[in-house]
Structure 1
Amino acid sequence: MAQRSGGEHRCVEAPARRSGGKAAASPEKALNCCVRSVALVERAGNALGTLAFTWATVVLLGGYPTVLRPTDDFWFATTIVFLEAARMFSRNNRLDYQVFFHTRGAARSLGWKGLVIIVSLSNVLNYLFLVSTKHLNASPEFRNPSDVDLKRLNNLNIGMLILTAALGRLLSPGALKLLGNTRLRRSMSLCSPLVAILLLAPSIQSSAEGTFRSTMAKWTVFIVLFLAVLLLTISRLRFRRITQLVDRALGRKQVFWRRLIMNLCMLIALAMVVFMHDDPIYSAFLLVYALYAVLAVSFGNLQIPAAALRVVLALVRLIPHNYYGDGDDTIGDKTNLAPSLNIFYGMVLGQGILYLVACTLDIFTFIPRRSIARHGGFEGQLGMESINLYHGYVLEKCMERDALAPKKISLSSFAMDSLNSDSPRMQLHGIRLMHNLLQTEPAKTQLLAKLTTSANTSARLINMLDWTHPRNTTIRLFAAKVTAELAKGLRVVTTPGLIQSVSALLDCGNKVRGRGNPLMDTDDEQEAMHDPVLNVSDNHEERCIAVPDSGNLLETQDRSTQQVGTTEQSSEEEPLAETDQDLLPALAMSILYNLAGCDQSNCEEIIRSTGLIPKIIRFTAYRRSDANYTDSQGKVLVTSSLQLLHRLTSINGEIGIMLRHKVSKHAFLLRNLTKILKDCTSSQESRKLVAGILRNLAVDGNTRQEIGCIQVVITRLMQEFLSLGRPLATHADHVLQKVAGQALAMLAMESVHNSSVILNETGHVFIKELTTMIHDDRYRCVAASLLRSMCLHARPELDESDLQAISYSVREVLERIMNAEGAELEILIGLSSEICKVIPEDFARELEHGYIKDRFVKRLVDVLNANMEPSAHYPGIRRVIIQQAINMMEHDPCYASCFGNCRMVEAVSMVEETASKAENYSIFLGDVGLMEHREPLTSLVVRVKQLLAVRPIQQPSIST
């Protein structure tokens, strides 16, 4: 049992993953600097824009409304004013500003969605041109191309350019949010690649008559592309068998391979559209259109086109510098018009350039973003999405306040703000980011410090543990993981409701109620439990809930297969890998484990919680027939419950006594622990934990006797301790052997029955093994304690071979007493005292023949004088010394002279004066003594004084 002084518990945190280098210490520092630069440039552009807007409305349109040339300057100024007004007024609405004017996201990667749009529009444009050309060629009025009205084709071109820009805007995240219907967006995303390929067919068919050189080859390519995209589309459906086939074929990088294949298919389709015709001019036209479409789709919003428009409008008027017109010599009311226009167009030009610079700098922020993802461990698409959200968070913070004011922005503050938001998506990113930050140092220390000082965030985090809605399962799971780390430094009294929330987590997946006692349950009660009317609201709610696309860690296959196959698994959200440790009950026990190790007041709350400890003990009874968990998950739950019970039963002080009593009184605990020991498939860790729990519970006399009555427990502990016929190859083997020996030692203390059962278990081989283990530093104390208990409580059952083995160990015990200190010295003197009582002749002969009698007696007196104040680590050292002296003098009164010459009388008198109640206990856990001796120390002092008073006539000399 872990020895702890006092009643305090230190919080020991598990070592987090460390990364080398300065970047690992603050991975977001470089991104923060880049974003501050972007914000500073954009704010400068905003300032110039506001000034230009004011200058145009007050000075130009207000001062020269009639003299501005209507052909250029008036409309140029008006256009710029309305453009700037749209930017200024859209800032009042965050979503509108993101859609139209925002530096972040002004340019975005094309992606497969952009390619799908370009291929689809190119196919439509190609088909319309082919149809129009055939119609014109078939027209009887068609004689000379210059005579034909091409207005329809021009309108078609303009319409396609506008349509391309409009569809490109629909790809932006802000515009997609305006659609609202998530299912509709995902259905469009699922079907759009297939539609883009199918649109190739009309173009191939229409061009087959004349200009198509190899119709069959192109149809073949079309069929191959169609089949490839069809397979990719099917692979994104949530059918169980399809999912298994895709996982088997593509493995963990299925998202990467899907995107790569889809991009290749779209590029091949686009190449077919561009180079489908023999006419090089028409192919060049389609190529130019494709490049225009790429630019249009790559613009995330109107910031770059608007900035380019500002630059163009300003340069068009600044370069010619013709504000008055040719031949206009009148000055009159046009005084200062040219300087005013120069100032205005200069500000507009500066604004446009600053916006372009800001957008360019923002594009290059992908470098520090990738660096954060690499050094911070943000893996997968969701990890990059979190970094992109942090990028926007930093930019927004920098734009809100003073430009040059210091801003303390970090990933931990972003995670906390996201957690406190009302958006489920942001809450998911916030809690995932917290979990990720807790894996590295010093981000872990920084985040935990902020969490412990933020009552609102801690309350929200604890509140998430109660979110039982199926769509919140992932958030709840990560909240449990973060809480498990936070619990290492958390006091329950400062977080109301924590224990109740954790107790509710223990019920997850374990709510199946068995049949009750037929003498206690009535048919009415059983029917009420299953009455569908009582559960109609819950059932209706669950029926209406779709499996979330964010990757539910605890989602069962049954619920997944209930989904129709028309819904895609979003390729943007990589499924989170489920592990056996990601069980909510296991995480709940991890939270309780850390709480119990942090502060004893937390243990008090655990005791007060009704039904909490029985729930924990229930998980020690996992059966393979349990349909709620797999075999590996069941083993994780068993190990988690054993670890928690081991910690709870190791608590010191009065709280520890109450905890051990509450645990031990559970009717099925010992049965469950026995089954784990008996199970040959139980892990070594589980057996070690069971042995430790039995050792901790054995400090109570009643529980000790109850455990000793279970023969299987003694048998299994003996097998683990002696390791007969089993080599000890690893450190874990030695630890298990030692813990099993400690459990046996605790069971044998102050128990005649248990000592007898232990001795008879191995047919008297036990004593010989113990005498051998005394020579091993790792097991000396355990073996000495067990051997002492056998001599004290099982003396009538020791045969000659046992006594002979004990006699062989006397010299080793005496030699160790000369050098040992502390608790080991107490145990060894206690053993030598009992050996002296069991085989006094052999003990005396070893003292005489070894020429250590004088040194041994002097050693005892010196130790007695050195321990005038009892210690909680070895409270009985003076008791065992006095008991040793009594046994020696009762066997041979001559030893009284030896003790007398070493001033034993004075030492005993001092013991009598300083006798403490603490010396009446065998062990201490904290400040609480356990296993009280029947005979007080003062009685032993009286007895030893009586023996010292009776001295023989001839006194042996004592060498100093």
Structure 2
Amino acid sequence: MVGSVRRERRRKGEESGPRKMGTSFRPGGFSFTGYVYLLTYLLMAITGLGYLALTWSTVVLLGGFVTSLQRKDFWCLTVISMLQAARIFNDLGDQLVTKFFNLLIAFNRRAVSVAREWLAFQTIDGKPIPRKKIGNWLRILIVIYVVVVYIPLLPLLAGCYIVVFLYGYGGPIVCIGLALWRIVQRDYGSNDGDDTKANLTPALDLFYCLILCQGVLYMTWLWSHPPGGAFIIVTSRQDYNLPRKWGYIWLVDYLFDTRAKCWQDPASIQGSTMSRYAVDLIDSESWDDNLSGLRMLATFIRQEADVRSLLLPSRARIQKLINTLGWRASASREMREAAGCIVAHLASDIHLAQFPGAIRCISTLLQDEATLTYWWNCDQKQDHTHLRTGSRSTMHTWINILEKIMPKAREQEVNRQGDDDDDRQHKKHVVDVKGGGCNELILQGLTILERLASDQHNCMDICRNPSLLPRIMAPLCSNTLIQGAKTSAWADVVNGSFKVLYRLIRCPGWTGKCLRRDIATSEQGISNLESILDQSNEAGQELQMRAMEILTELALDSSTNLTMETKENLMKKQLEIFLDEESAAISKDLKATAGRTLTFLITNSKVNCSVVKDYFGHLTELLDAKNNTTYRMIAAQVLENICAHCDLDKECVKDTLLPQILTGIQSNKREPPEGADDQGDDEKTETKELQENFLSLTLVIYDNLISIDDFDDAIQKNGLGNGEFVVKLKTIVEENCKETVISLRIVKLCGQIAATMMMRSQYTEHFKNQGFAESLSKAKKIMSNLESCVLFAGTELRLKKIATPLLSEIEKELN
């Protein structure tokens, strides 16, 4: 039973732990950090050598030997010193000259724009100025502006430009060339017996060696900067399957931002990842930065990365994301979609009471499609692609070159059938292809509500909202639901709505009960659910699963007064789907859902069990090892309820059902070795769950249906006589001495079977000789802490069967 709950949660995407990709997803991992550290330390070394060389040239050489230097050494020292000083000025000014030119260009563009707007409002004889004349007058104003403003500043601007050009482009090469020229010639002059000139030659040698060492480091940095960064960016985008349109922009921005932080404080980028960078962008006051951050996180989430640990600790950050959902007039549609994806990722851990206005913001996503279409068309005209750190033409040039020459890039381009295929793949997430994009916000809103409804208090808040609940129920009560469900876009909306309703009606207490009554009293709603059950096309199977789940919950609540005809039709449909072995159109999910809901429906109900009694033989056949493990587990659960509440032919149980069960118990494999992959772990879990179901069914049959002799006869026929069955039970107990809920359940079932057999004086000596009680006692000590936790949570319906009886009570019965 616990296993079925866990599978249900996995099926609905509610993993309790972090979701994983096939390989570890670490956006911006060690490759970026290591590369940035390399660049930063190279630049620090280059700058440090520059400081040392400048100090040496000004203090030691020009200060101490200025009259002893040859003219060519004097000018070499002067030029090199000036270039080193230019670098120091550039570093200390934090790229001040470059920023000055960028601001100047921006100011000029704004001035031209203002002049154009001013001319557009002027008139001649009461008429607007023609566009051609505006252009001519604008040119005249630009000439006047240049003459008045820039000509007086020309010497200053020219000097700044020359300094930037010499250092940024030719300076390092000039320094290397001059130093290499002088150190090769090494004709610094003689000291002429003057002791004051004795150190001139080694001083110059040291200076020129410093410049050459700095040049070597600079060439290393120059080689590592654009090509190395571009290589990391290209491979990272391909490895993480980022969209081509924005992936390079994100990675370039992240690279430059990380490098700037590392230059200020190398320790600040320790543990830095692109996910953290995206979160920082969300905290920014800039809308463009917010959109970039939302895009990044939404992309990572769609690739199954878990970013909850980065977002959940900050309530203000979550509030901002929720508020973004409701900013219809200010936030772009794409921004709201990305925020919706992130909020849906966090929704299972969000408590609505902590976030004022959250329900209002979420409900804005469930607006009518006419409004959605309007906003969608408006937003398509906007292009928010931008580079936060300005133009990076050199980096993008290297990226384009590497993409053309890298074998990996070429191979991926062939596999993807063109460079733009990954953009289309990403667009599939941003714009719902099935819905044409118009219903994406509705689907995200429903997904958020579905995951919020996993918390009981959230359910109460949602149901108390007078405007939200009618919107959620609107598809169910629609007169055109069946006709509209033939289109995939509307079917997706209905499916999302049904998922939310299923969560809400399962809410404990008055909230779920009132909603179940409201649905049950809606004739149109019940009619729609029954009509959906009869759909046989493959496209409607998702809706069939949702309809089964909702109707099952209504049928389990006696206060809904659901008619017996509706209940019987539901069970017959569930049986028809679950036992259908011929139709290939029925999906495994639909078949499993039909069996699972049928199991819930017939639990502790003699009336419902009698309906499925006629299918006893088909259900028994499903226990065979050749069938799917999930189907075998469901069949065992259904048969357990039938055996507990129906009058069955004991000979049939003895001759057909019991041998299948004993064979299943005997054939269960041991656990796979440690180090098995995830698939092996899943198979191991399913094997344990199947073992639990077989043992539980064995206990019910032994207690209610057959005699001691019949059970002993069945054991003998299956090769478990002469105490072998006792050995098998003991082995199962020893294999399950672990602190897991399913192991606790298995150990208790083995103990209950043993206690019942000993009470009937069957194999009593074998149990004592094999030390079964000692094995159970050992398991009790290991599982005592877990059992106390289960007892504490035992009020939950699905844990009651595990909570009792206690292992200590079973142990007493064995002694």
TM above 0.5, one fold?
yes
Q: 1:493, 1:625 → 2: CA distance?
A: 33
1:407 is aligned to 2:270: yes
How far apart are 1:311 and its partner, in Å?
Answer: 1.6
Match of 2:341 in 1: 481
Q: How far does the alpha carbon of each residue in 1:371-428 deviate from its partner, in whole angstroms, 9 at most, with x for none?
A: 43333333424223322222223322321115x8982222332222233234444434
Q: Give SS of 1:453's match.
A: coil
The answer to whether the 8 Å contact 2:242/2:299 transfers is yes
Match of 1:314 in 2: 179
Match of 1:591 in 2: 448
Where does 1:926-937 land on structure 2 (aligned, <5 Å)?
927=795
Structure 1 counterpart of 2:263, one-letter code: M
Q: Give SS of 1:409's match.
A: coil
Q: Give SS of 1:36's match.
A: helix
Match of 1:427 in 2: 290
Structure 2 counterpart of 1:310, one-letter code: C
How far apart are 1:308 and its partner, in Å?
Answer: 1.5
Structure 2 counterpart of 1:650, one-letter code: R
Match of 1:12 in 2: 15
Structure 1 counterpart of 2:89, one-letter code: M
Where does 1:225-244 land on structure 2 (aligned, <5 Å)?
none
Cα distance 1:474–1:626, how it changes in 2: closer, same or farther (>3 A)? farther
The answer to whether the 8 Å contact 1:45/1:354 transfers is yes
Q: 1:772, 1:319 → 2: CA distance?
A: 96
Match of 2:251 in 1: 387
Point out which structure has higher relative CO (alpha carbons under 8 A, 6+ apart).
1
Q: 2:477, 2:96 → 1: CA distance?
A: 54
The answer to whether the 8 Å contact 1:781/1:824 transfers is yes
The answer to whether the 8 Å contact 1:596/1:603 transfers is yes
Structure 2 counterpart of 1:727, one-letter code: E
Q: 1:300, 1:465 → 2: CA distance?
A: 48
Number of equivalenced pairs:
576
Q: Give SS of 2:312's match.
A: helix
1:727 maps to which of 582, 603, 623: 582
In proportion to residue count, which structure has more helix?
2
Structure 2 counterpart of 1:546, one-letter code: K
Structure 1 counterpart of 2:446, one-letter code: M
1:694 is aligned to 2:551: yes
Q: 1:91, 1:672 → 2: CA distance?
A: 73
Cα distance 1:544–1:472, how it changes in 2: closer, same or farther (>3 A)? closer
Cα distance 1:77–1:683, how it changes in 2: closer, same or farther (>3 A)? same
Q: 1:305, 1:627 → 2: CA distance?
A: 73
The answer to whether the 8 Å contact 1:692/1:740 transfers is yes
How far apart are 1:41 and its partner, in Å?
Answer: 0.8
Structure 2 counterpart of 1:18, one-letter code: M
Where does 1:61-460 land on structure 2 (aligned, <5 Å)?
73-74=74-75, 77=78, 80-81=81-82, 84-85=85-86, 88-89=89-90, 92-93=93-94, 303-321=168-186, 344-362=207-225, 363-402=227-266, 407-438=270-301, 444-445=305-306, 447-460=307-320
Structure 1 counterpart of 2:467, one-letter code: G
Q: Give SS of 1:547's match.
A: coil
The answer to whether the 8 Å contact 2:598/2:638 transfers is yes
Cα distance 1:366–1:86, how it changes in 2: closer, same or farther (>3 A)? closer
Q: 1:673, 1:88 → 2: CA distance?
A: 75
Structure 2 counterpart of 1:357, one-letter code: T
In the alignment, structure 1 segments of 5+ residues that lack a partner are 101-169, 185-298, 514-537, 552-569, 760-765, 792-805, 833-845, 853-873, 875-924, 931-960
Q: 2:98, 2:574 → 1: CA distance?
A: 70
Looking at CA atoms only, which structure, 1 or 2, has the larger radius of gyration?
1
Where does 1:895-934 land on structure 2 (aligned, <5 Å)?
927=795
1:548 is aligned to 2:383: yes
The answer to whether the 8 Å contact 1:462/1:498 transfers is yes
Q: How far does the alpha carbon of each residue in 1:13-32 deviate from its partner, in whole angstroms, 9 at most, with x for none?
A: 58845345xx8668721332
Structure 2 counterpart of 1:690, one-letter code: A
1:640 is aligned to 2:496: yes
The answer to whether the 8 Å contact 2:363/2:445 transfers is yes
Q: Give SS of 1:468's match.
A: coil
Match of 1:250 in 2: none
TM (normalized to structure 1)? 0.48
Structure 2 counterpart of 1:644, one-letter code: V
Q: 2:699, 2:470 → 1: CA distance?
A: 38
The answer to whether the 8 Å contact 1:646/1:693 transfers is yes
Cα distance 1:81–1:610, how it changes in 2: closer, same or farther (>3 A)? farther
Match of 1:913 in 2: none
1:465 is aligned to 2:328: no
Q: 2:196, 2:40 → 1: CA distance?
A: 41
How far apart are 1:788 and its partner, in Å?
Answer: 10
How far apart are 1:635 and its partner, in Å?
Answer: 1.7
Cα distance 1:83–1:813, how it changes in 2: closer, same or farther (>3 A)? same
In the alignment, structure 2 segments of 5+ residues that lack a partner are 114-163, 387-418, 624-633, 662-692, 713-744, 746-792, 799-815
Where does 1:789-938 land on structure 2 (aligned, <5 Å)?
809=649, 812=652, 927=795
Cα distance 1:725–1:392, how it changes in 2: closer, same or farther (>3 A)? closer
Cα distance 1:16–1:312, how it changes in 2: closer, same or farther (>3 A)? same
How far apart are 1:726 and its partner, in Å?
Answer: 8.2
Match of 1:135 in 2: none
Match of 2:473 in 1: 617
Q: 1:435, 1:300 → 2: CA distance?
A: 42
Cα distance 1:350–1:466, how it changes in 2: closer, same or farther (>3 A)? farther
Q: 1:716, 1:637 → 2: CA distance?
A: 23
Cα distance 1:407–1:694, how it changes in 2: closer, same or farther (>3 A)? same
2:572 maps to which of 718, 726, 729: 718
The answer to whether the 8 Å contact 1:695/1:742 transfers is no
How far apart are 1:44 and its partner, in Å?
Answer: 0.9
Among the aligned pairs, what percent are the same residue? Answer: 20
Q: 1:739, 1:544 → 2: CA distance?
A: 44
The answer to whether the 8 Å contact 2:639/2:697 transfers is no
How far apart are 1:468 and its partner, in Å?
Answer: 2.8
The answer to whether the 8 Å contact 1:2/1:650 transfers is no
Match of 1:38 in 2: 39
Structure 2 counterpart of 1:400, one-letter code: Q
Cα distance 1:440–1:29, how it changes in 2: closer, same or farther (>3 A)? farther
TM (normalized to structure 2)? 0.55
Q: Give SS of 1:462's match.
A: helix
1:606 is aligned to 2:607: no
Q: 2:167, 2:381 → 1: CA distance?
A: 36
C-alpha RMSD over aligned residues: 5.9
Q: How far does the alpha carbon of each residue in 1:872-901 deviate from its partner, in whole angstroms, 9 at most, with x for none?
A: xx9xxxxxxxxxxxxxxxxxxxxxxxxxxx
Q: 2:423, 2:553 → 1: CA distance?
A: 46
Q: 1:697, 1:301 → 2: CA distance?
A: 80
Cα distance 1:665–1:502, how it changes in 2: closer, same or farther (>3 A)? farther
The answer to whether the 8 Å contact 1:27/1:376 transfers is no
The answer to whether the 8 Å contact 1:499/1:606 transfers is yes
How far apart are 1:33 and its partner, in Å?
Answer: 1.7
Q: Give SS of 2:332's match.
A: helix
Q: How far does the alpha carbon of each residue in 1:116-169 deviate from its partner, in whole angstroms, 9 at most, with x for none?
A: xxxxxxxxxxxxxxxxxxxxxxxxxxxxxxxxxxxxxxxxxxxxxxxxxxxxxx
